[in-house]
Structures are given as structure tokens and as C-alpha cells.
Structure 1
Amino acid sequence: MSIRLICSDIDGTLLQYGKKELESEIFEQIRELHRRGILFCPASGRQYTSLRKLFAPVADCCVFLCENGGVIYKDEQCIAKNPMPRALAEEIANDLWTRSDGQGEVMLSGQNTAYLMERGLGMLKRIQFVGNNYQIIHDPSEVPEEITKVSVYLHESVESYTERFVPRWKEANCAVAGPYWIDTTFANKGIGVRSICKTLDIDLADVMAFGDNYNDVSMLDIVGVPYIMDGAAAPLREKYPNHTPRPEDVLREFLKQN
């Protein structure tokens, strides 16, 4: 096995919740990996604009897995896209909106724009915080392009709504994506990683990946070297033997030994 691609979830893994900028060490590590012919892949539910801003100093050294695998970018070009069936995406959006007891706000993701159905509960501020392109809408039918992901933002916590939505929309890979988000998509991070590997002729066994949440499982399950964060839920820590508090710690040792 020879590592050729390193994928990392962002929020809760490489970037702690509430922080806006990455530590400088990861940029140095990504540059060194690139010099050695190893590609780095931010793998996130965020859109491309947000990810590219976050990784601006090393963007040319990265391939970007955006919208949980719904959109893949390399060299500023979309190289793969996995949209949802339109009717299903609209049905899910309406369900998340109406069955969240007035406590949920809905985001529909296009290729590089977030379409927001908001109630003033904080979603808009979070989208502005991460630097997404966005547009306010009042109905899912107003989205003028293919939809790659539908999410509900629950401003108090996802806990009270996980059982309500995750089993119901299993066909759309419904999963908890953080303390406040539940996502649905016809892609997932595993599908995104497979798309990247197929396009770039990389064996899945030659991929290392880092994650901290249930929406990372599809990615962690297929790569040769999966790592789970120390702060992940207990079932995830039990599932994967490799644990770390920070991806940078693992990458530092990897670069020393290789």
C-alpha cells in the first residue's frame, strides 16, 4: 500500500466547531504532500466556494469533495456531479420544513449556491459565517438548477429529530452531519471518494481518510486507512481502531516516516 490520496472531513475534524480558519500547519503539510505526489481532499458538506476560501493558500494542491459528495472540483472545474431526483428533493425539503415543528430551516444545495428556506433561527448567519454563496427562497420549486443536497438546520439540536427524519429518508442517505444539521443526498462521501479515485486512477486501498460523524462512515468504510476523531460518538470510536485528536498529528508522523 502506498498512500496517494488523503481525505479529511472539515467541521469537527480538521476545523473545530466555531472556528473560521485552519491552523497554518495543515497548509505546510498539504504542500509537502503535494511535492511527494500525494493529493489532499477536503471532504465536506460545504459548497465549493466555502472550501476554496478555507484552503486558499493550497487550493491548487487539492481536489474538493463538496456537498457530501454531490459535487467534485479539481483545478477550478467541476469534474463530477451526483444530483438528486428533482421530485424527491422537493418532497424531502417540504417534509423537513413542515415536520420540524417550526424549529427547522431548510437548505437546498445546487452546484455552487445554497438556496435557503429560513425562519430567522440562525441558519442564515451560519451560512454567511462559512462563506457560502446563497439565495433566499420560499419554496423548493424556486431552485433554478439541479439539487445535490437537501439539509435541515435545527437550531437547538438534531437529537429530537434524528429518529423522525433519518429512517424516513434512508433512500436519500439521510444522516446526522453535525450538532445542528441533518443531510439528505443521493451521493455521500464514499460515492464522492470513489468518483475521485476512478477519475484519477487511484486505488481505494491507497487512500487515507479522517472523519468524526456518521456522514463520514461511507468514506471511512471504503478507504485503506481510516481514522476517527477522539471526540466522535462512542459507536464510531468502537467501529474504527485508528483514533486521533487531530489529523495534523497523523500527517506529521506520516511525513516523517515516508
Structure 2
Amino acid sequence: MIKLIASDMDGTLLDSKMGISKDNASAIREAERLGIEFMVATGRAYTEAKPALDEAGIECAMITLNGAKVFDKAGNSLFTAGIEKKTTAEIMDILDANQVYFEVSTNKGIFSEHQEKRIENFAAHIATTMPHLTYKVAIAMAAAHLSLLDINYIDDIRALLQQDDIEILKIIGFSMEGPNVLAPTSAQIRQIPDLVVTSSAQNNIEVNHKNAQKGIAVAHVAKDRGISEKEVMTIGDNFNDVSMLQWAGVSFAMGNAELEVKDHAKYVTSTNLENGVGEAILRAIREDL
């Protein structure tokens, strides 16, 4: 029987309102009632992920920033896998050369140089994960969502590299041109040692230290709890979820997942708009997967 469940958030646990549905929350509570621990494994930072969990009344451990920062249930930091500042400067050079807007997640929060571009690109992300929405609605949702988050807008993002107390955890780049621009950009970044490049939507790329991967983080948490990979279940929809889908003994891809991502999962559940996470959890319990 599974003892630990790790679920992605965007395009997976979250619904069309960027929240956790009652059905998903109910299934999570049923798992916890049976002694199964639930946690999220997200590309989001802690401050971006926590509001949706709080609203649903879910308190859990959190793998954030694709595994760059892991927190226990009480919000205490367990471990960190950051990017060296010299390497960060190289990544920024490549993104700038390819005219890719980017923002930086650090131990002091998220930093961006352009508020309008952040809203525009987050809206494109919403529109990609929830294609039933109009772009106008996606813009409104993005503006409303981002207004609730603690984002730091600064004139020169490279100034972060001169601050001794700043640790770079993740860099995310966005382009409205999608893979046409991001694919060659990713290829350039992958030439830099000790990095991993993934994505959570067609219009972004996410750059982390090679040790900051969801699969590595889930394995670390499971080991700390004395749980084997056969007793772990993971759920995801995009390429930054592949490492944990491959590692876990039980893995579900969402119905809305990328086709290549589904190839790495053992099972497929319904979409994030159809309570796919709750369906997967209850199936795992019912069938003793």
C-alpha cells in the first residue's frame, strides 16, 4: 500500500480557478485518514503555493521550485539546492540574447524587472493549462492571482548577484513564441554544467541546479521517512514532473498531460478540471496500488 503521495499543482491539483476542488481536498483527507501522507511537489515558490493549500485547509510538506527548496509541514526548510551566481550570470546572458523574459526565485523571494510582462506571461501559462478560458479572462485571473503574491520588482535583476545573502534557487524564462524560441534557448543553457532544464507549460523553461529535481526531492523525503519507492505515488502533468513519475512505484499522469509525459507514468487519470488528482488517490486506495 502507498504511504506517501506527491502531487504537482498547476495543471494537476489546481482547477480552473487556480484552487483545489472540494473533491480533490476530500480525497486527500481520506488518504490522510488512512495514514497516507500527502505533499505537493511544485515549480512554484512557497509563497505562491501556500495560498491555495490554506484555502482548502490542507497542511502538508512542500517540495517547491522543482526541488530546489523543501519544507516540512510546519514550513521549516529541510534542504536547498541552489545555482551558483557565476552560473546564474551565464544563464541570464543566454536568456537576454534570445530576448526571453525571465524572473528569479531566491531565498528572499521572487524577483522580476517587468510587472506587465509577468502578468502577460503568467496569463499565457493559464491559457495553456486551461484552454477553455479566453485570453482576456486569463489576463484578469493572472492579475488577480499575482496581486496576492509577494513579488519584488527591481530595476536591475543582475544586482541580486552582488548580494551575499541572496541564494539563487530557480530561473524561469517565458516566451510568447513558445518552443520556437525556447527550444534553442534551452539547448544553449544545457551546455552549462550542473544544470537541468525542464518546463511546466509550452511558453516557459525552468532552470535549476541538477540536484533540484522533483524526483530527487521526493526520494529524499521518502528516505527520511523510511518509505521505499514502491510505497510512493506521484501525480503530474508536465516535463518538470517526469523525474518523480519515473522514480515512484505508483505514478499517474493527468488526462491533460503532455503525451510524452504520459509515457513516463504507469497510469492516467482524468484532467485537472475533472478532479483527476482525487480520482487517482481514491483509485490507488481502492485497488491497493
TM-score range, shorter chain: 0.7 to 0.9
Is 1:141 equivalent to 2:159 in the alignment? Answer: yes
Within 2, Cα distance between the matches of 1:13 and 1:134?
24
Aligned residue for 1:167?
Answer: 187
Conserved? CA contact 1:175–1:214, under 8 Å: yes
Aligned residue for 2:117?
Answer: 121
Residue ranges of structure 1 left out of the alignment (5+ in a row) = none
Query: Among 204, 215, 228, which residue is 1:190 paired with?
Result: 215
Within 2, Cα distance between the matches of 1:79 and 1:26?
27
Within 2, Cα distance between the matches of 1:107 and 1:45?
13
Deviations 1:43-72 (A, max 9, x none): 111111222211114443x11010110111
Deviations 1:12-63 (A, max 9, x none): 11224x5321101222222222222211111111111222211114443x11
Conserved? CA contact 1:4–1:207, under 8 Å: yes
Within 2, Cα distance between the matches of 1:177 and 1:94?
22
Is 1:200 equivalent to 2:220 in the alignment? Answer: no
Structure 2 counterpart of 1:248, which letter? G
Is 1:176 equivalent to 2:176 in the alignment? Answer: no
Conserved? CA contact 1:71–1:82, under 8 Å: yes
Aligned residues: percent identity? 23
Q: Which has the higher helix share?
A: 2
Q: Secondary structure at the match of 1:41?
A: strand
Provide the TM-score with structure 2 as the length reference.
0.79
Change in CA separation of 1:50 and 1:119 when aligned onto 2, cut-off 3 Å: closer
Conserved? CA contact 1:48–1:112, under 8 Å: no
Conserved? CA contact 2:61–2:75, under 8 Å: no
What's the CA shift for 1:119? 6.9
Structure 2 counterpart of 1:252, which letter? L
Within 1, Cα distance between the matches of 2:255 and 2:18?
21
Structure 2 counterpart of 1:204, which letter? E
Q: How does 1:1-258 map to 2 (within 5 A)?
A: 2-16=1-15, 19-56=17-54, 57-60=56-59, 62-74=60-72, 75-100=74-99, 104-111=100-107, 113-118=109-114, 120-123=116-119, 126=122, 129=145, 131-137=148-154, 138-142=156-160, 144=163, 145-154=166-175, 156-170=176-190, 171=193, 172-186=195-209, 187-245=212-270, 246-257=276-287
Residue ranges of structure 2 left out of the alignment (5+ in a row) = 123-141, 271-275
Within 2, Cα distance between the matches of 1:64 and 1:205?
20
Conserved? CA contact 1:49–1:112, under 8 Å: no
Within 2, Cα distance between the matches of 1:166 and 1:178?
14
Structure 2 counterpart of 1:234, which letter? L
Alpha-carbon RMSD: 2.2
